[in-house]
Chain A
Amino acid sequence: MTLPLDGVRVLDLAQVYAGPTATRLLADLGADIIKIEGLKRMDITRNFVMPENDSSGDYWNKSGYFLMRNGGKKSLTLDFSEESGGVGIEIVKKLATHCDIVVESFTPHVMKKLGIDYESLKLIRPDVIMISLSGYGQNGPWRDYSAYGMGLEPASGISSITGYEGGDPLRTGISFTDPYSGIVGAGAVLAALVYRRRTGKGQYIDLSEQEAAIPVTGYATMDYAMNRRLPKRMGNRSLWHAPQGVYRCSGEDNWLAITVRDDGEWAALAKALGHAEWTDDPRFVDVASRFAHHDEIDSLIEGWTAGEDHIEAMHKLQAAGVLAAAVLNPKQVLLDPHLKARGFFDRVETVQKDERLIPHQIGARFSDFEPNTARRAPKLGEHNREILGGLLAMTEDEIAKLEENKVIGDEPISAVPLPVMRMFVQWPLASYQNMGALGGIETDYREQLGIASEKSETEGEAK
């Protein structure tokens, strides 16, 4: 099958979450991604989410977190720090001549210091498209600020409009700006490719992860610009519709989200809850009166939902014409029949030869091609020989010497002893559960998800 980015090669110097999301999307669309990690600078996400929480062996090749954002890429380990004596950086430059796109996520001064900033790369590859993803962008007083994803959702303004009524700003339960700016980065690169196809010209893209997410605050920012009014945090309520909320259902920690967008949907909800008379009740008759009696309506709705299963209640209300959605926990998301029917989760065969369910990184289906999504992530340094010996035509002796000097390799060199890393990589799940940060730990999740372990796979082959 042909894909839109067949034949496009990407040099990927980015790590962690935002940059790797961008290049993962490009990989799914057909690009060949060469991901470079240093033995002393392995992508830190190789330490997160171990199968069965087991950090023995070459655990760095088995991370679920790493797989999600690096499936389908090629891994080249390369120390290109200044201490490496310049061998690594020369290889990066040689590779760049073979690459259409360079992606990096260092703090702003690093690429220039290494002599591989856009101006330098353009001299050796005139039509190169280069993108820098950074916390705060390449210029401005905050450019050198140390930036973690967890800080950038608040810095983009989104947390100021997220939170319970009267409470502090809260972050989303993910590092929100990372996937957000990763997708923005992929789009910017695609636009540059469209331009290059037409004109033959490459260019440089400066993306600030803080800025990329600011548009989500569009309503509130316009309100301040027009009316000097600051938003209030309002929990799950809507600016426009009443009622809207998240209502407790039967069982433990089960909830149903409901929005009533007009009088017709209000009548539908009233009828579905067995109280058709609410339709004409003067307290609820239009959106203004429903806003005025929101607390009262919330108790009436919860009087019904409290006795209902959240997923069944969603189907009942949707069938009655009401906008309702169950608040699914991560396990329920994996088992959801709609996502299943849409093929949202890929069954990926991992390095350790078992299967895991991995969500798509692109939320679109194409009628003329299918993105190449269901691929495992590369082992650290898995493609060293293929890339150095193939693309760069280096001899076996030259490659062996790089290995000897630890410029390349397939085992990380950690600043802390490996046993300490193994302890760190294993998560204290029982303690998390005691704190209340886990809703449960189940041992039969393979059966529940219908995914194969290595053992059953071998049995399958034996038959």
Chain B
Amino acid sequence: MPELALDGIRVVDLSQGIAGPYATKLLADLGAEVIKVEPPTGDYTRRLGPFPGDVPDPNKSGLFIHLNGNKKSVTLDIKSDEGRSALAKLIGTADVFVESETPGRMADLDLHYNDLKDAYPNLVYASVTPFGQTGPYANYKGNSLAAMALSGLMYITGDPDKAPLVTGGEPAEYFGALHAWVAILAALEYRGQHGRGQHVDVSWLEALGSADEYNTPMYSYLGAIRRRFYSRHHIPTFPSEIYPCRDGHIVVIGGASGFPLMMAILLEQPELESNPLFQNLWLRTMQWKEFEEILRPYLMQHDWRDLLERAQELRVPFAAVLDPQTLLENEHILERGYFAEIEQPGVGKLPMSGNLFRMSETPLRHSPAPLLGEHNADVVQEAAR
């Protein structure tokens, strides 16, 4: 078996939901041993599904499986003194500890970083919460929707005549996860040089807010307040939109050299090359409805794959609009081996998401998510040794 990037790193993970668990999943994929500490009822994502046949079962939740492959599960009731001292002991064996409790709760349990740092000076202790450990909203209730709202990304997403729109899939939690993962790795590198652990305070809101492409700069550089406007950028690129076509949807992007000639050829109407809407970017951007009157009818007579392949032959960067089915069946993603097949106990074969990137020396690993409390005996035995 090849060596893994994080061989020898032990993570104790008290976090629940998406952000904390996905961060430790990425550590586990890279080879870290992750001991997931769950309450006796389990991480709440065990109750969120989806379930095979829609029959709830804490060991069969698709979201939980997606986020917790390669980990060990131990159940502990940290409300009891016994559970709390078992957790403290476990933390003592760890290189990294991750938690996602409301700020203040770990201090109430005497398990805040400040309670542990003298006993375990090498510990990297990460707190992963919606709004961070400090500031006026630290104790506000939060979710991905709230972070989308407060980051400003929601205001600029959606149609101008409708309510601001949230991005699907709980993206703030995933952004929070990535920043937590990067921060933990940075703290491990720091520890490698200086021999000291530290506290890492991750805010989903700030993780998502860092993805603000140019919206706050448009105000602090120009005084302009950007608003949502379909799928459109201000950066002069129109169109770069999703449009319906005969059998689904297609992303129409002209790119640097698509207009006027390539797009005219693509739409099989060479005379469009001399159309002012094809020749002049500003005119096309301002009179976009007229441009769409030319574009939309053609797209509705053609299939996405045909449009995609012909555009790419002309080096025009059209893109596919994939959904879960076309993602799982896509020949490119299949040939790259992105999804890893796992055998999930009680469920069967599932496509695990997957090979997030390819490392030539230290491949990522893939194994099922643990059953609730599956490793209780192992961990108790180890502690007794």
A-B contact pairs, 12 of them (CB 8 A): A4-B193, A131-B357, A183-B182, A184-B178, A184-B356, A188-B359, A217-B324, A255-B164, A259-B143, A342-B206, A362-B179, A439-B227
| B167 at the binding interface (Cβ < 8 Å) | yes
Q: Say whether A338 contacts B137, CB under 8 Å.
A: yes
A139 CA to B136 CA, complexed, in Å = 48
Most buried by B among A240, A337, A368: A368
Interface residue range, chain A:
35 or more
Q: Are A342 and B134 in contact (CB under 8 A)?
A: yes
Closest to B151 in A: A333
Say yes or no: B228 contacts A179, CB within 8 Å: no
A462 at the interface (CB under 8 A from B): no
Question: Quick one: which of B48, B149, B233, B255 has the most chain A CB within 10 A?
Answer: B149
Residues of B within 8 A of A431 (CB): 282, 286
Q: Is B261 an interface residue (CB 8 A)?
A: no
A236 to B170, CA, bound (A): 11
Compute how far the CA of A442 lies from the CA of B321 in the bound complex, rounded to whole angstroms: 37
- Give the residue name and chain of the B residue nearest to A237 (CB): B166
Judging by beta carbons under 8 Å apart, are B169 and A158 in contact?
yes
* Interface membership of chain B positions 45-57, coded 1 if the CB is closer than 8 angstroms to chain A and 0 otherwise: 0001111111000
For residue A197, which residues in chain B have a CB less than 8 angstroms away from its CB?
189, 192
Q: With the chains together, A139 CA to B355 CA distance in Å?
A: 14
B97 close to chain A: CB less than 8 A: no
Smallest CB–CB gap between A120 and chain B, Å?
14
Question: Which range holds the interface residue count of chain B?
Answer: 35 or more
- Across the interface, which residues of B come within 8 angstroms of A318, CB to CB? 137, 140-141
Q: Which of A187, A208, A220, A235 is the one whose CB lies under 8 Å from B178?
A: A187
Interface of B is mostly: mixed
Docked complex Cα distance between A192 and B134 (Å):
32
Interface flag for A99 (CB, 8 Å)? no
Q: Does B154 reach chain A (CB closer than 8 Å)? A: yes
Contact A218 B149 (CB under 8 A): no
Which residues between 124 and 154 of chain A lie within 8 Å of chain B, taking CB atoms?
A: 131, 136-143, 145-148, 150-152, 154
**In whole angstroms, what is the CA distance A362 to B320 when docked?**
30
Residues B174 and A357 in contact, CB atoms below 8 Å apart: no
Given A152-B319, A184-B178, A194-B6, CB of A174 within 8 Å of CB of B211: yes
Contacts A158-B167, A427-B234, A438-B224 hold; do A363 and B62 have CB atoms under 8 A apart? no
Residue from the set B183, B206, B217, B234 with the largest chain A CB neighbour count within 10 Å: B217
Closest to B192 in A: A197
* Residues 278 to 324 of chain B near chain A (Cβ within 8 Å): 282, 286, 312, 315-324
Known: A195-B362, A211-B355. A50 touches B324 (CB 8 A): no
Task: Tell whether A154 pairs with B319 under 8 Å between CB atoms, given A218-B169, A362-B179.
Answer: yes
Is the beta-carbon distance between A428 and B63 smaller than 8 angstroms?
A: no
Q: How far is the CA of A80 from the CA of B136 in the complex (A)?
A: 51
Residues from chain A with a CB closer than 8 A to the CB of B221 are: 49-52, 64, 356
How long is the Cα–Cα vector from A195 to B359 in the complex, in angstroms? 11
B225 touches A440 (CB 8 A): yes
Complex interface: stretch among B75-83, B99-107, B235-243 = B235-243
Which residues on A sit within 8 Å (CB–CB) of B206? 339, 342, 344, 360, 363-364
A330 touches B225 (CB 8 A): yes
Complex CA gap A32/B110 in Å reads: 40
Residues 202-231 of B contacting A (Cβ, < 8 Å)? 202-231
The answer, yes or no, to whether A101 is at the interface (CB within 8 Å) is: no
Q: Do the beta carbons of A246 and B163 come within 8 Å of each other?
A: yes
* B-chain residues with CB within 8 Å of residue A176 when the two chains form the complex: 167, 171, 211
Contacts A4-B186, A145-B312, A170-B242 given; does A342 touch B358 at CB 8 Å? no
Give, as a whole number of angstroms, the nearest-CB distance from A169 to chain B: 5
| A140 contacts across to B, CB distance below 8 A | 331-333, 335-336
Asked if B146 is an interface residue, CB under 8 A from chain A, the answer is yes
What B residues does A188 contact at CB under 8 A? 356-357, 359
| Min C-beta distance of A432 to chain B, whole Å | 6
B259 contacts the other chain (CB 8 A): no
**A118: which B residues are within 8 A, CB to CB?**
360
Q: Which of B85-93, B345-353, B372-380 contacts A (4 or more CB under 8 A)?
A: B345-353
Contacts of A106 in B (CB 8 A): none
Taking a contact as CB atoms under 8 Å apart, the answer to whether A221 and B356 are in contact is no
Q: Mark A172-202, 1 if CB is under 8 A from B, else 0.
A: 1111101110011111101111110111011
- Complex interface: chain B residues within 8 A of A171 (CB): 157, 231, 241-242
The answer to whether B331 touches A141 (Cβ under 8 A) is yes
Complex interface: chain B residues within 8 A of A194 (CB)? 5-6, 9, 185, 188-189, 192
Interface presence of B196 (CB below 8 A): yes
Give every chain B residue within 8 A of A150 (Cβ-Cβ).
231, 233, 237, 240, 251, 253, 319
**CB of A250 closer than 8 Å to a CB of B:** no
Assess whether B220 is in contact with A334, with CB atoms less than 8 Å apart.
yes
Give the CA-CA distance A276 to B318 in the complex, in Å. 53
Residue of A nearest to B136 (CB): A338
A54 to chain B: closest CB distance in Å?
Answer: 9
Q: Does B153 contact A (CB under 8 A)?
A: yes
Residue of A nearest to B126 (CB): A364
Instruction: Please name all residues of chain B whose beta carbon is closer than 8 Å to the beta carbon of A402 when the two chains form the complex.
Output: none
From residue A123, how far is it (CB to closest CB) to chain B in Å? Answer: 15
Report the number of A-B residue pairs with Cβ-Cβ less than 8 Å: 569
A53 interfacial contact with B, CB 8 Å: yes
Please tell me if the beta carbons of B321 and A169 are within 8 angstroms of each other in the complex: yes
Which residues of chain A are within 8 angstroms of B175 by Cβ–Cβ distance? Answer: 179-180, 183, 363
User: How many angstroms from the CA of A224 to the CA of B324 in the assembled complex?
Assistant: 6
What are the residues of chain B within 8 A of A87 when measuring CB–CB? none
Contact with B along A322-336 (1 / 0, CB 8 A): 111111111111101
Most buried by A among B136, B206, B354: B206
In whole Å, how far is B205's beta carbon from the nearest beta carbon of chain A? 8
Is the CB–CB distance between A367 and B199 below 8 Å? yes
B149 A257 Cβ-Cβ under 8 A: yes
| Of the residues A223, A259, A326, A328, contact of B324 by C-beta under 8 Å | A223
Q: How far is the CA of A445 from the CA of B255 in the complex (A)?
A: 33
A384 at the interface (CB under 8 A from B): no
Known: A253-B227, A366-B200. A2 touches B164 (CB 8 A): no
Residues on A with C-beta less than 8 A from B53 are 227
A89 vs chain B, min Cβ distance (A): 23
Residue B371 interfacial (CB < 8 Å): no
- Which of B49, B174, B202, B227 is the one whose CB lies under 8 Å from A438? B227
Q: Is the CB of B219 within 8 A of A216?
A: no
Q: Which residues on the A side are within 8 Å of B54 (C-beta)?
A: 227
The one of A157, A330, A337, A344 that contacts B322, using a Cβ cutoff of 8 Å:
A157
CB distance from B19 to the nearest CB of A (A): 10
B141, B162, B167, B336: the one within 8 Å of A162 (CB): B167
Candidates B157, B187, B220, B362; contact of A357 at CB < 8 Å: B220
A159-B242 CB under 8 A given contacts A49-B221, A203-B360, A326-B150: yes
Name the A residues within 8 Å of B357 (CB-CB). 131, 184-185, 188, 205-208, 211-212
Shortest distance between the CB of B184 and any CB in chain A (Å): 9
20 more contacts with CB within 8 A, not counting A5-B189, A154-B242, A363-B202, are A49-B222, A50-B221, A64-B217, A140-B336, A141-B335, A154-B249, A159-B249, A175-B233, A180-B174, A180-B175, A180-B178, A323-B142, A328-B149, A342-B206, A344-B206, A360-B206, A364-B201, A365-B201, A368-B194, A438-B227
Whether B319 contacts A170 by the Cβ 8 Å rule is no
> Within 8 Å of chain A (Cβ to Cβ): is B65?
yes
Contact A240 B48 (CB under 8 A): yes
CB distance from B274 to the nearest CB of A (A): 20
B141, B150, B224: the one contacting A429 at CB < 8 Å is B224
Residues of B within 8 A of A180 (CB): 174-175, 178, 211
